[in-house]
Structure 1
């Protein structure tokens, strides 16, 4: 019933909108859109080597073994589709573009022979390579880990940075719906030891340069949205993601492998994921070479029109970047990075909720829970929303539920910023063992934006009270919550 109502709501939105202004995001994918998949998902088992002074072989450390992998061999649904063809709802930045309103369909229009059910990493890679940029639905059942091969019977740890970077990553092309299917016990599909890449920053030719090519395109008066290397129209839903353990990070403080990375991607909808370090948190690395995870879900390198909704982020340090650089990224990020965060539950995520550069970010009805007093480093809260260089943020009706944090410390800890061009924050509730319950309104002392830096989301959305968020978000967020 929930999905039927959502589909009806999307249909109603389309009927109410100017039909000429609503674009199926699949039509934005041109024939020139490149596939970036061939180099990924293929192991090379190379030996660790130092690269540009980083990734020293001495820093290599295999991931701790998981207590169990929950592989599957059968489809509990019998192959019957329920929500897989559903388009993304229209209540976020993903449903917009410079050309007007957009319906993100992912692979919802896939032919029957482009609907795949996969049980291991090799089947997932094969499905992507066969379908290419055609609309495709990939249904994940059980447990995917690219370190396993031969139908999940042979395990080999990543041997180096290069082996993990390429052999441990899956690149999703345009017009893809990637969804997890709950098992008979209601447990969601799970992915471990694997990075998901949506898009990539490419040059126009094998001998070109991604930065100079894009700058020349703009200098020639061409529309940046027509630059032919975008990945568009992607939906990811209902999967538990364990962010990958980096076997050979850059150094002791900086890992490389992310959980999910959007890079030069547009019109992307990500919902009902549970993302954490799983059974291999950084603390298992000990006091030396201690950083083994990078971002959980990063939106970078000019990506645009993205919504991250109804997910759970837990037990992870560097949770989310929107924009991964300051002035050096203006050529790709200025005027882009429109991202919505709604209905997410941050529970034991350490920091970057998100850290935002350049982004015009709308956050509403999120639940942020944590502890600044816990001795468990893997879940200790260090910092929340961080508005940085040339960002412009609108925060509405969050619920902050903490231990160890005083209400007088919220500004500067849970909500902070500098060098932004716009920041508005209102309607929140804060509870803590140190402060009881308090309403939080206003700008945390920051001057409100003026002139062109004041904006209103172009999409409709239902704003709940902060009080409602405390129960509504845990009831609906995360993997396994879809019927």
Structure 2
């Protein structure tokens, strides 16, 4: 029944975040299966509820064949849309709308998987792992259009998209695009995600095949905060072994829903063995402090500075391997001002904007996000963050 403490990030603003703390005995559930979790979500309407997850819930069935539409055949799909046959000038939207084509059947198959693995989290809910190994494999938590949700103590293994779409027009040589995040905060408010572990688990990108010379990407994000979402705090989570990890704001054209929203606090999270988007930000006033970043040679960047973003990134710790420069921590998608202060890279105090600008004189970034965060509780010195976060972040560290 723990609630988000006062002053603990954006999710503590206005009405605060209490989840299901006020639940009566009739609205406290323990679930051990994915279907049981969906049933608990659906029970009791928006009355406060606490749902305890015991063990690992399997959301995605035994094989991809469980979701395949009659007539869908991946080998036929590859033959039909091989760039040597189809080329790179036309996407597959017309094929998707034409019954009987392999793209049409792929889309029907994808819809069946989506129906199975997505679960809608209701308002006024606390979802919490209990006991050792509590988590979800292959599920996608949809926190959509609701208020007052807490998710704590779960290991969330990324959904594996069985039916990625080939887009020959994505880039010069096409790309495979997948769906499904482990958790999506979509037009929802007052959401606290705490002490969870987000991971690709048994299916890291290194295990995925390639077709048409491009990786058959079966993962999307680990966590997305999009489409008018607001007042979100993510604390003491571990984000591990993933490519496109955390996106805040999904489109430059979403100003009508996103301007003045997407207020998110990230603190004391561990971002380990990631490639990019930790986070990528559009529009939002995002406060990222006291996070620990541990990179491999696959590292691209951590903070993506996107359209009208207002990112404050302070007192974070970065451990970068040999050959990866501090200039890589920031990536400029748009010239939005950013505040970086008190960060350390490999133990040394580093001005991240200055490091970026020294390496990118033609496309510099501007310092000063234009606002000052006030919703913080305890702030650790940056030099201690790697140890503090390494010791305390993740689902198995919830006490």
Partner of 1:63: none
- 2:19 aligned with 1:93, yes or no? no
Alignment deviations for residues 301-332 of structure 1 (CA, whole Å, 9 cap, x no partner)? 01011011101111111101100010x21111
1: CA distance, partners of 2:316 / 2:288: 8
Partner of 1:343: 268
Given that residues 265 and 302 in structure 1 are in contact (C-alpha distance below 8 angstroms), is that contact kept between their aligned partners in structure 2? yes
For 1:348, what is the secondary structure of its paired residue? Answer: strand
Shift of 1:145: 1.3
Partner of 2:135: 190
Partner of 1:181: 130
Given that residues 121 and 148 in structure 1 are in contact (C-alpha distance below 8 angstroms), is that contact kept between their aligned partners in structure 2? no
Structure with greater strand percent: 2
Given that residues 232 and 264 in structure 2 are in contact (C-alpha distance below 8 angstroms), is that contact kept between their aligned partners in structure 1? yes
Gaps of at least 5 residues in structure 1 are 1-84, 200-229, 373-379, 432-436
2: CA distance, partners of 1:290 / 1:148: 20
1: CA distance, partners of 2:218 / 2:259: 31
- 2:165 aligned with 1:242, yes or no? no
Given that residues 121 and 145 in structure 1 are in contact (C-alpha distance below 8 angstroms), is that contact kept between their aligned partners in structure 2? yes
Q: Would the alpha carbon gap of residues 195 and 319 (structure 1) be closer, same or farther in structure 2, given more than 3 Å must change?
A: same
Partner of 1:276: 199
2: CA distance, partners of 1:166 / 1:115: 25
For 1:102, what is the secondary structure of its paired residue? Answer: coil
For 2:177, what is the secondary structure of its paired residue? Answer: coil
5 Å-filtered alignment, 1:35-46, equals: none
Pick aligned residue for 1:104 from 17, 28, 44: 17
Partner of 1:138: 51
Q: Would the alpha carbon gap of residues 395 and 295 (structure 1) be closer, same or farther in structure 2, given more than 3 Å must change?
A: same
Q: Would the alpha carbon gap of residues 157 and 112 (structure 1) be closer, same or farther in structure 2, given more than 3 Å must change?
A: same
2: CA distance, partners of 1:103 / 1:95: 4
Q: Give the alignment's TM-score, normalised by structure 2.
A: 0.81
Partner of 2:322: 404
Partner of 1:77: none
Pick aligned residue for 1:465 from 377, 381, 386: 381
Partner of 2:243: 317
2: CA distance, partners of 1:158 / 1:138: 28
For 1:181, what is the secondary structure of its paired residue? Answer: strand
Gaps of at least 5 residues in structure 2 are 69-108, 167-174, 358-364
Given that residues 60 and 113 in structure 2 are in contact (C-alpha distance below 8 angstroms), is that contact kept between their aligned partners in structure 1? no
2: CA distance, partners of 1:478 / 1:138: 19
2: CA distance, partners of 1:463 / 1:112: 37
Given that residues 305 and 336 in structure 2 are in contact (C-alpha distance below 8 angstroms), is that contact kept between their aligned partners in structure 1? no
Q: Give the alignment's TM-score, normalised by structure 1.
A: 0.67
Partner of 2:258: 333
For 2:353, what is the secondary structure of its paired residue? Answer: coil
Alignment deviations for residues 3-51 of structure 1 (CA, whole Å, 9 cap, x no partner)? xxxxxxxxxxxxxxxxxxxxxxxxxxxxxxxxxxxxxxxxxxxxxxxxx
For 1:257, what is the secondary structure of its paired residue? Answer: coil
Shift of 1:419: 2.3
Q: CA RMSD in A?
A: 1.8
Moved over 6 A (4+): none
- 2:331 aligned with 1:416, yes or no? yes
Alignment deviations for residues 73-129 of structure 1 (CA, whole Å, 9 cap, x no partner)? xxxxxxxxxxxx110123101111xxxx33211011001010000000111111111
